[in-house]
Structure 1
C-alpha cells in the first residue's frame, strides 16, 4: 500500500488592502477609486465630515431628517419620479448621519455608472425637500423616538450617553434628536442646513468595483463639477474628544417594573486609532473579553451560568477618543450576580491575558480580513470610514500587518493603558465604569447597592 505524504500547509502571505488611486477634484472633494476585478456591481460612497455639533441646539435631529429626504424629489423630478429613476437604473441609495459624519451609499451595475453619478449629482445639488416628505420623516422620527424609549436596549443606550458625557455635549443626546427638537424641524430649516453643510470641500467620494474600461475620474469630475465647494470650515467638534461627565462613574437603573430581563450597558473611555503603542491590540482585547461566543464573558455568563443568550464587548474609536462598551441582557433573576460577574470579568484584564487567548483573537481578526474585504461594498465602506477618521486605507493594511506581531505582553500593556486612563482600579470594584441597567428597580436595588460599586440612581420614565 502506497502512503501519500500530507502536504505542508504554508502560512498565508501578509494580506494587503486593495490599493487606492486618489484624485483631487477641482471643487475640493477627494475621489478614491479601488479597482476590484470581477465586482461588476460598483459601490459608490460619499463621506462628509459634518459634526452633529453643527446642528442647531433647538433642531437636533435635523441632519437625520435631511439625510432621509435627500432623494425625495429634486428640481426636475418629484419624489415618485426620482424613485422610479433609481429603480430603472438599478441604483440603490441610502444616507445617514453618525458621530463620524454624513455618509451616502449607492450601488449600481457597472454599465449604469454614468447615469448613477448624475442621480448622485441631483441628490447632492438639487434636492427640494418637499414639505410633505419632510413632515413625513419628522413623524417617522417621532414614532422611532417612542419606540426607542420602549425597547430596553435602545433605552439603555439613551441613558448611557446621558450619564457618560457632560450635559452640554452633543454626544450626551440622541443622534436623531429628541421629541422637542425633532418636532420643531421645518422644511426651511432642512433646506438651510443642506445648503450650508452638504458641500464638496473636505468631502470624500469612493468608487470600488471592476473599473476596467472606465475613466472614473473623468466621469466623476464631469458629473460633480457643479457641486459647490461651500464656505464652511470643517471638521470642528469631530476633531476633539467629547467631554465626559464628572460623575460618570456610577450606576443608573432605568425602572421597568416587572421586567423579565435586565439590559446592561457598561462603558469606559477608550482610545482612538492614534493611541500610543498602536491600535492593533485593542480589537484583540475586545474579542477576548466579549467579542465572540468563546470570549470570557460568554464563557461564564452564557455557557457556565446560563444567564444570557450573549453579551458583547468592543472598543469603538472616534476621530478623537473613543469608548469601550459592553452591552447585552440577562435573566431578571440573575441581575445582581450578572453585574458582579461582568465587572469582575471586565476588570480581569488587569491580571493579564494568556498567549492562547491572544492568538485566538489575532488569528480570527487577521485571517478573516480577506473575506471581510472581498466585495466592493466592503472595500468602499472601509475607505469612507477611514476617510472620515482622517486616514487612508493604508492604515488598514499597516494595522493588519502589525496585528500578526501582537503578543500577550503587548495586549497586557494596552489594557493597562486603557484601564489607567479610565480609572479602573481592581482594588475598588466598579471604579472607572459607567453602568446602566434597564430593569425592575425595586426587585434589584438592594442587591445592586450591596455590591458596593458606587452610587446608584433610579430613573423613572414618564
Structure 2
C-alpha cells in the first residue's frame, strides 16, 4: 500500500548474535535438513536496458541479478507475489499487515533485529510496499554487507511466523490503523479511492477493496488467520529475489543458495487470470468530506490488465488528455471555462484488471455538473481534432527520459525488475510498445474504453455543500472509525515473547555473517568554473545514464516578499514557466517536452531555484529555452489571472490539511507576526489578488549572476556544460542587489501549547519545535549526528521505537534540524490517534527531555556505524550529487566538508553528544503545536504542564 516512509531504519542496541530471550530452541542442526540441495539453475541472461542473470532454486525461488559498478552498493528486493488481491472478503488487509510484521522480529535476528542491523551497516533502512498484486521489501546497503542482507531476508520466508504473538499482532493493528487515519481518514478526499474501487468492481472481486483493507477485518483477525495466510503465500516458489549493484554474481548466488536453498517450497499458486471489472452502468456517488474546502470530481473508467496490447495506448491517452496547457481538458476547464486550475489523469494496469482516472478539484463554489459538462466537451473536441503526431512524439520522448530517471539508483532498478518479473514484461518491451504507437491507436482505445462507456463518478464536497455534487449522485458508504477515549486496550511493550521450537536448519542461523571487503568510497569529483558575468558554475560528471540534472540557484526567494503583501515570490515562480515573448505557455511547455526535458521554478525561503532534467543530447537546447524564460518572459495578463486563481485555490485547500495547518501555525509562532517567514509561502488570498505584473517584474530584476550559482550533474563534462551556458553568460548582466536581511528569531523563554481545533479529527497532528541552528553553523552537523538516535534515524530512533513500536500511537515520528544559510529550526513532527494525544505528547516530550542523560556508548557506536557506513551510498543518485554542490554553493560549506563531517563522526564522544543535547533540546522552551479535536483533547492537554492550551484558529488565515 505504501512505503514505511522513514528512510533510515534501526532500533536500540546492537544485533544479537544468538536468539532472543524467552525462546526455546536447540542449537543442534537438524540432521534431516542436512540433505543435499540441488544447486541453482541459471534460467537465462538478458541484455537491453537492464541486463540480468536469472536463476531458479530447487524450491522455486526466482533470483534475478543485475550488475551496476557505479557505486559500491547493492540493492536487495524480496518480492512476494501476494497483495490484497490474494485476500478474501472478510479477511482483508492481511498482505499490508505483513508488510509491517516482517520488519518486527524473526527467529534468528531477534526482535527489531533487521532494523538494528540496517542501522549498523549503513543501510538505507528496510522498507516495503504493498499493492493489489505484490508486496516487496527493499533496502540498499554498502556491498560489504550484502551477505548480511541475504541472511536477513531469508528469515522472512523460512524463519519468521513463530515470532508473531497475540501481543505483536495487537500492537501492529494499532500502527496500521494510524496509517489508515493518516492517509485516508484525516485528509481531504482520502476516501475517494476506496469509494471508486467498491463501485467499479463487483462484490468479491479481488480489487473491490482498498489495499489497506477493512479495519473491522483486521480487528477480527485471529493469530491463526494470520499464520494461515503466511504459510499459504510467503513461500520461495511464490517469491522473487532481486539483487542489483556492485556485486560478484557467482558469490552472490552462492549466498542465496546457502540462506534460501533449504526453505521448503509451498503450494504452487497459479497466476490469476484476467478479471475485468464488468461495470455495466455508470455509477454516481457523493461524499460530504469533513476536510475538503473545495469540491472534487473524479471519473474512473475500467480498462485492461497489465500486458494487454492496449495498455501502452491507454497510458498515452490519459497523458494526452490532461498533461500540459494544450491538453484538451486543460484547454476547456482551465483556460476557457476557468472552473479549476488543473486536471489530472492517469492509467493504471494491474495483474488482472485496470482502470483510469480523470480528476479535478474545482474552484470554490463551482457546481460539479458544470465540470462534468466541460469534460464531455473536451473529450468531444479531442475526438474531433484527432491526435497530433507531434504531441504523441513529445509524450514518447518524455517517457523515455522519465524511464532513464527512474533507473538512477540500484534500488530503482531492483524494484522495477521485481515488478517486470511479476507481470511477465520487460523494460525493453514497454519502451518498444510505447514507440510503436500511432495516433490511430490512441483514438481507438479512446472509443473503446472511454467514449460513452460506463464509469464511476465521485463528487466529494465540503461540509454543507452537497448541492455542488453531480445531479443524481447517491451517497457513498464511507466508514470512518469513531475515536472514543480509552477504546483501545493499551499496548504492552514488555509482553513476553513467544516460546517455540526453532525451525530446523542445516547450520546455526543465529550467527550473523561477517562483513565482506570494505567498499572503496570515493566522493564525487567536482569541477568548477566562472562565467564572464560572475556566475559560479559547478558540476559532477556521471556517464551512467544519458540524462542531465541541473539547478540555477538565485539568492532571495521569499526574503524579497513584502510582509504586508506576501506571495509575490511564489507567484513569480509560477509565471516564469508561463510563456516567453515568442512562445505561449503551451508552446514553451511543448518545446521542453519535445526535448525530453522538465523544468520547474520554485520560490524557497532564501532563494529561487530553477530546476531541470533533460536527455543529455538535448542539454544545450534545453538551456536555450531556460535562457528564453529568464530574459524574455511573456508577462501575459491572462496567465497572471489564471496563476492567481490557482494560488487562491491552493491557499483554501491547505486550510483543510492538518499537517499544513500545523506547519503554518508553527511558523507564525516561531517567527512572529512581523517576520516574512511567518507568512504563508503562498501568500494570503487578498494580497495575492492585489499583486500586479509590475510587482513581479521588479522582483525578477533582483535576479543577478553574482548572487546566483549554476550546478549540473550527469552525462556531460565541464567543457560541454560551460559551452551550453554561453547564452546565459552573454545575456545576463551583473548588477548590485541587496537581499533583505531579516532577524533570526530567538528560542522562546517558556513553553506553551497551542491548539488548532479540527472538530471530530481522527488524529492529532503534533509539531513541536523552535528556531535553531543554521546550515553553516559549526555545530550543525554535530547536532544532526546527535539527533540520529533521538528521531533522525527512522526505526533506529527512540521516538519511533517507543511511540510507534512500543505503544502503537503513530505511523511515523521524527525530529530534524532543518536549516538554510540564514534560518534554521528544530522540529518534532508526528500524527497520533486522537484519543492518545496527551499520552503521545507527554512521551515525546519526556524522550527529548531525558535524551542527554540517557545517551550511552552503545548509542554512539550505532550512530557512528550507521552514518559512517552509509557514506557508501551517499552519492549514488543525481539528487544526492546536486545536494553536495548545493551545500558548497548555497550554504557556504568548504569544498572538503564531507571529509570534515566524517572527522566529526569519528571524533565524537558520549560527553560531547550529551552536551550538545543539553544545549539544543530544551523541552521547557518548545512551541507545542497541536492540530486536533479541541472538545475532547483540549482539557486533557493541560496535564502536559504548560497551562491551558491557547486556542489558535485565529492565528492563521
Give the TM-score taking structure 1 as reference length.
Answer: 0.89
Structure 1 residue aligned with 2:815:
313
- Structure 1 residues 123, 85: CA separation in 2 closer, same or farther (over 3 Å shift)? same
Shift of 1:59: 2.9
Shift of residue 398, structure 1, vs aligned partner:
2.6
Which of 861, 866, 869 is matched with 1:364 structurally? 866
- Where 1:27 maps in the other structure, the secondary structure is coil
Which of 559, 563, 567 is the aligned partner of 1:53?
559
Aligned to 2:704: 199
Question: Mapping of 1:42-441 within 5 angstroms?
Answer: 42-194=548-700, 196-212=701-717, 214-234=719-739, 236-237=740-741, 242-244=744-746, 249-276=751-778, 278-291=779-792, 292-419=794-921, 424=922, 430-441=923-934
User: In structure 2, how many angstroms separate the alpha carbons of the residues matched to 1:8 and 1:443?
Assistant: 53
Are 1:293 and 1:310, in contact at CA under 8 Å, matched by a contact in 2?
no
Check the 8 A contact 2:758/2:933 in 1, yes or no.
yes
The corresponding residue for 2:516 is 9
| 8 A Cα contact 1:100 1:389, kept in partner | no
Equivalent pair of 2:670/2:927 in contact (CA under 8 Å): yes
1:197 is paired with a residue whose SS is: coil
Distance 1:246 1:347, change over 3 A: closer
Q: In the aligned structure 1, how far is the partner of 2:643 from the partner of 2:736?
A: 28
Please tell me whether the aligned partners of residues 45 and 384 of structure 1 are also in contact (alpha carbons under 8 angstroms): no
Deviation at 1:211?
Answer: 2.4
Partners of 1:101 and 1:431 in 2: how far apart?
Answer: 33
Taking the aligned partners of 2:882 and 2:799, their CA distance within structure 1 comes to 33
CA distance in 2, matches of 1:302, 1:20: 41
Q: Is the 8 A contact 1:41 1:109 kept in 2?
A: yes
Q: Secondary structure at the match of 2:578?
A: coil
Larger Rg: 2
Tell me which moved more, 295-304 or 446-455.
446-455
**1:362 and 1:182 mapped to 2: Cα distance?**
48
For 1:256 and 1:384, the matched residues in 2 are separated by 39
Distance change >3 Å, CA 324–CA 133, structure 1 → 2:
same
Q: Deviations over 1:246-268 (max 9, x none)?
A: 56731100011221211100002
Over 3 Å counting, the alpha-carbon distance change for 1:246 and 1:339 in structure 2 is closer
Deviation at 1:378, TM superposition (A): 2.7
- Shift of residue 148 of structure 1? 1.2
Displacement of 1:83 after TM fit? 1.0
Deviation string 1:144-163 (CA, Å, 9 cap, x unpaired) is: 11111111111011111111
The separation in 1 between residues aligned to 2:908 and 2:726, in whole angstroms, is 42
- Measure how far apart 1:108 and its partner are: 1.3
Q: 1:103-123 CA distances to partner (integer Å, 9 max, x unpaired)?
A: 111111111111112111112
Task: After TM superposition, give the deviation of residue 184 of structure 1 in Å.
Answer: 1.5
1:313–1:47 CA distance, 2 compared to 1 (3 A): same
> Is the deviation greater in 20-29 or in 407-416?
407-416
Deviation at 1:326, TM superposition (A): 0.7
The answer for unaligned runs of 5 or more in structure 2 is: 1-253, 255-512
Deviation at 1:186, TM superposition (A): 2.5
Name which structure has the greater RCO, CA cutoff 8 Å, separation 6+.
Answer: 1
Deviates more, 1:84-93 or 1:287-296: 287-296
Gaps of 5+ in 1: 425-429
State whether residues 535 and 705 of structure 2, in contact with CA within 8 Å, keep that contact through their aligned partners in structure 1: yes
Please tell me whether residue 444 in structure 1 is matched to residue 933 in structure 2.
Answer: no
* Contact preservation (8 Å) 1:52, 1:99: yes
Q: 1:451 to 1:375 in 2, by over 3 A?
A: closer
**Displacement, 1:318?**
2.4
Shift of 1:324: 1.1
What is the alpha-carbon distance in structure 1 between the residues aligned to residue 598 and residue 895 of structure 2? 24
